[in-house]
Chains A and B, each alone.
Chain A
Amino acid sequence: MRHVRTVVPVGLLLMASAGCDYTGDWLFAGSVEGLDAIQDLGELPVAVIETAEDVAANVYRGEVGPTGTPEVGGVTFTFKGTGGTVCVWVDPEAAYWVQSLSPIYGNADFAYPDNPFDDGDLDVEAGLAVFYNGSPGEAMGTFQVRYEDSLGNVVPISANECTISYSDGPSGGHMGRGFPEYCDLSNTQPGVNYLVALETFATPIDDDRLAYGLLLAEGSCQDIFTLTGQPNEECVIGSETLDPNSAPPGEIGEPYTDNADFELSYCASVAATGENSLAAWCNAESDDKDCNEEHCFCGNLETTAPTGG
Chain B
Amino acid sequence: MNHPLRSNGLRSALLLLPLAACTYDEGIIVQDMVGTIVVPEAAATRTFAYEDGTEQTVTDTRVIGPIYLGLYASVDANVLAYPHPEMGPIIDPDVPGDTYPYGGTAVGDVRFACVEFLTCKTVSGRFMDYDAIVEWFRDVVKDPVTDSSGVEVPSGDWLKQECYDLLFVTQDSEVRITAYEDRNDDGVIDEKDLDFVQRSDGAFEAPFTIFQQDFVEGFSLWGWMDAPSPADQSFRTCDPTEGFNVAEYDADFYGGTLYDNLLNFPSNYIERGDYVASTGFTYQSADETPELLIDFLVE
Interfacial residues, chain A to chain B (CB-CB below 8 A): 127, 145, 147, 149-151, 153, 155, 157-161, 186-187
Contact = CB atoms under 8 A, between A and B. Distances in A.
Given A147-B88, A151-B73, A186 B93 contact: yes
* Residue from A127, A149, A150, A153 whose CB has the most chain B CB atoms within 10 Å: A149
A153 B217 CA distance: 11
Interface string B209-239: 0000000101100000000000000000000
A187 B86 CA distance: 24
A161 B91 contact: yes
Contacts of A153: 73, 102, 216
Contacts of A159: 89, 91
Contact of A149 (B88, B91, B92, B94): B88
A127 B91 contact: yes
A187 B74 CA distance: 29
Contact of B89 (A151, A157, A160): A157
A139 to B, nearest CB: 23
- 9 closest A-B pairs by beta carbon, nearest first, are A149-B73, A187-B93, A151-B73, A150-B73, A150-B74, A155-B100, A147-B88, A151-B218, A159-B91
Interface of B: 73-74, 86, 88-89, 91-94, 98, 100, 102, 216, 218-219
Contacts of A151: 73-74, 216, 218-219
Contact of A186 (B74, B86, B92, B100): B92
A149 B98 CA distance: 11
A149 B91 CA distance: 15
Contacts of B93: 186-187
18 contacts: A127-B91, A145-B89, A147-B88, A147-B89, A147-B100, A150-B73, A150-B74, A153-B102, A153-B216, A155-B100, A157-B88, A157-B89, A159-B89, A159-B91, A160-B91, A161-B91, A186-B92, A187-B94
A143 to B, nearest CB: 9
Nearest to B91: A159
A216 to B, nearest CB: 19
Contacts, number: 38
A150 B100 contact: no
A157 B93 CA distance: 16
A196 B92 CA distance: 15
Contacts of B102: 153
A157 B74 contact: no
Given A149-B74, A186-B94, 12 more contacts: A145-B89, A147-B88, A149-B73, A149-B86, A149-B100, A151-B218, A153-B102, A157-B91, A157-B98, A158-B91, A159-B91, A187-B93
Nearest to B92: A161
A157 B98 CA distance: 10
Contact of B88 (A155, A160, A186, A187): A155
Nearest to B87: A149
A158 B95 CA distance: 14
A186 B219 CA distance: 34
Nearest to B102: A153
Contacts of B92: 161, 186
A152 B149 CA distance: 56
* Residue from B73, B86, B98 whose CB has the most chain A CB atoms within 10 Å: B73
Nearest to B94: A186
A163 to B, nearest CB: 8
A153 B101 CA distance: 11
